[in-house]
Amino acid sequence: MTTQILDAASNGIIAVDADGKVVFANSAAGDLMNRDAAAMAGVNVERLFVFGGGHLNAGRPLPLLAQIRGGPYYLEREAHLARSDGESFEAVYTVAPFRAGREIVGYVITFRDVTERRRAEAELRLAGAVFEYSPDGLIVADANGRVTKSNPAYRRVTNLEEAEIVGQPLGAVLNHGAQGGDGALPIEENGEDAQWEQWCKSKTGRRYAARISLSAVRDADGVVQQYIAIVSDVTQRKLDEEKIIYQANYDQLTGLPNRTLFMDRLTRRVLEGKRAKTSVGLMFIDLDGFKAINDTMGHDAGDLLLKSTARRLEKSVREADTVARLGGDEFTVIMPLIDNFEAAAVVAQRIIKSLTEPFDLAGREGRISASIGISLLPAQATTASQLLHNADVAMYFAKRQGKANYQLYRPDLEDTVQVQERAL
């Protein structure tokens, strides 16, 4: 019965006599050593317990007898052991004496394979180190979406203390300081992982861009056990992207939309006008006298004049209008929902009046005027390119009329402008 009980144990059990020879080994001991348990009887225990591959003393016996005789009477150790086939495993073993009266007549060695436990512990330590030292912010929440912990990187970005984070709803934490954040978790909407970017503010008011990856950890049945969020500070990347977009779409000198953005907005306005059956007006503005100021007073004065012109144009147009600089001293104004030429003329008059006022060019006075061409959709054009062409033609005609005036496009101006241009 005793032997059957010992054979049923999951731990390896080996009994040795006072000289270290095996007198009994259970089935689990045989399995762990990859040996026949019965054949282990009579073998010196140190031939069985051998350091495994990868250990400094690989192939050499463990000093079990020395450990036993050196005391204490009960000991517990860990070792990297070898099986008979050369494979290795991590083991924890204990040695305890058994007596006949007061005399120690042998020892019982119990041992078990802890390889998987050690591997799991190592993975946990690694995961803990990754969590603590990750350059990205990490947040863990329970199945109810309540934060259970955050790492130092996240706290550095947000300037929040752990006590201000733990126990809070994950959505509220992720949206802390976010523009328009409502605290909802996108992952809850469709059950899938989610990624998004948003601008946030730290506790100290620093504005930063966050890239957030949110995942749900589920069990085998698909039930959510935890949420894990990775928060990366992508501020510099976003600033670089915004700079590139700005440089591609805005005039570097005046800050107005450039030709690229102007054509995009004009095209969209034309399409909207066609769908809604509403009108769109376009002004093409050329500065009279700019070249003379640029040549006589220098490029710095010319640049200052262009920047001041941009500001005066913005103040002269309607709130819905778009002022753009096409290049040089050429500007445009997109006018959605302009009812007729008379309404456009009111804006043109304000522009001419504003630009004829003297400019302060770093202590020197500069004077210019403006020639303006006006084209309307759908009355005179059906496409954005037609609208621009017609306004350009009308502007050239305005210049021929003595400058500082505005003209509405007419088809007969095409030949007039072309003849005049060829004659120059």
What one-character DSSP code corresponds to residue 168?
A: S
- Choosing from 238, 267, 297, the residue where a domain stops is 238
251-282 pLDDT, tens digit per residue, is: 999 999 999 999 999 999 999 999 999 999 99
- Choosing from 74, 91, 118, the residue where a domain stops is 118
* Total structural domains within the chain: 3
pLDDT of 155: 94
Judged on CB neighbours under 10 Å (0-12, 13-18, 19+), 95 is buried
Are residues 284 and 223 both part of a single domain?
no
Determine, yes or no, domain membership for 153. yes
Cis peptide before 72 (omega within 30 of 0): yes
User: What domain range is 60 assigned to?
Assistant: 2-118
pLDDT surpasses 70 at 421: no
Averaged pLDDT for residues 352-368:
94
Question: From CA 196, how far away is CA 400, in angstroms rounded?
Answer: 56
Are residues 17 and 114 both part of a single domain?
yes
Determine, yes or no, domain membership for 124. no
Question: From CA 250, how far away is CA 259, in angstroms rounded?
Answer: 8
Q: Tell me the one-letter amino acid at 96.
A: A
Confidence of residue 183 (pLDDT cuts 50, 70, 90): low
Backbone conformation region of residue 298, classed left if phi is above 0, alpha if psi is from -120 to 50, else beta: left
Are residues 53 and 102 both part of a single domain?
yes
> What is the percentage of the chain residues whose pLDDT exceeds 70?
92
**DSSP-assigned letters across all residues of 397-424:** HHHHTTSS-EEE--TTHHHHHHHHHHH-
Are residues 90 and 177 both part of a single domain?
no
pLDDT of 286: 96
pLDDT surpasses 70 at 187: no
Are residues 264 and 172 both part of a single domain?
no
Determine, yes or no, domain membership for 127. no
Are residues 228 and 256 both part of a single domain?
no
Are residues 397 and 279 both part of a single domain?
yes
Pinpoint the alpha helices (H) of 2-94: 2-8, 27-33, 45-48, 64-70
Determine, yes or no, domain membership for 8. yes
Q: Tell me the one-letter amino acid at 264.
A: D
Strand order in the sheet with 147-150: 147-150, 137-142, 224-233, 207-218, 194-201
Confirm if 47 and 140 have CB atoms less than 8 A apart. no
How many C-alpha atoms does 259 have within 13 Å on its Cβ side?
7
329 catalytic? Reply is yes
More confident residue, 88 or 334: 334
pLDDT of 71: 62
Look at residues 174, 235, 2, 24 and name the one whose alpha carbon lies nearest to residue 110: 24
Confidence of residue 232 (pLDDT cuts 50, 70, 90): very high
Question: From CA 318, how far away is CA 323, in angstroms rounded?
Answer: 10
The enclosing domain of 339 has a CATH number of 3.30.70.270
* The pair of three-digit structure tokens given for residue 242, joined into one six-digit string: 């915004």
Are residues 142 and 74 both part of a single domain?
no
3-state secondary structure of 222: coil
Question: From CA 341, how far away is CA 282, in angstroms rounded?
Answer: 11
Confidence of residue 184 (pLDDT cuts 50, 70, 90): low
Are residues 201 and 305 both part of a single domain?
no
Determine, yes or no, domain membership for 329. yes
- Gyration radius of the chain over CA positions: 42
Are residues 141 and 230 both part of a single domain?
yes
The enclosing domain of 203 has a CATH number of 3.30.450.20
Residue 369 phi/psi, 5° resolution?
-145, -175
Beta strands (DSSP E) in 234-315 are: 280-288
Do β-strands 406-408 and 369-377 pair in parallel, antiparallel, or remain unpaired?
parallel
Are residues 194 and 264 both part of a single domain?
no
pLDDT of 424: 31
Determine, yes or no, domain membership for 53. yes
- Choosing from 210, 238, 266, the residue where a domain stops is 238
Name the one residue in this structure whose structure tokens are 């050369």. Answer: 86
pLDDT of 5: 67
Backbone conformation region of residue 378, classed left if phi is above 0, alpha if psi is from -120 to 50, else beta: alpha
Are residues 272 and 351 both part of a single domain?
yes
Residue partners of 278: CB distance under 8 A and separation at least 6: 272, 336, 337
Do β-strands 12-17 and 103-113 pair in parallel, antiparallel, or remain unpaired?
antiparallel
* The pair of three-digit structure tokens given for residue 157, joined into one six-digit string: 């970005």
Residue 415 phi/psi, 5° resolution?
-65, -40
Averaged pLDDT for residues 391-403:
92
Determine, yes or no, domain membership for 113. yes
Determine which one of 113, 321, 329, 392 is catalytic.
Answer: 329
Determine, yes or no, domain membership for 125. no
Total-model pTM: 0.61
Confidence of residue 137 (pLDDT cuts 50, 70, 90): very high
pLDDT of 363: 92
* The pair of three-digit structure tokens given for residue 268, joined into one six-digit string: 């969209």
Averaged pLDDT for residues 71-76:
67
> What is the percentage of the chain residues whose pLDDT exceeds 90?
57
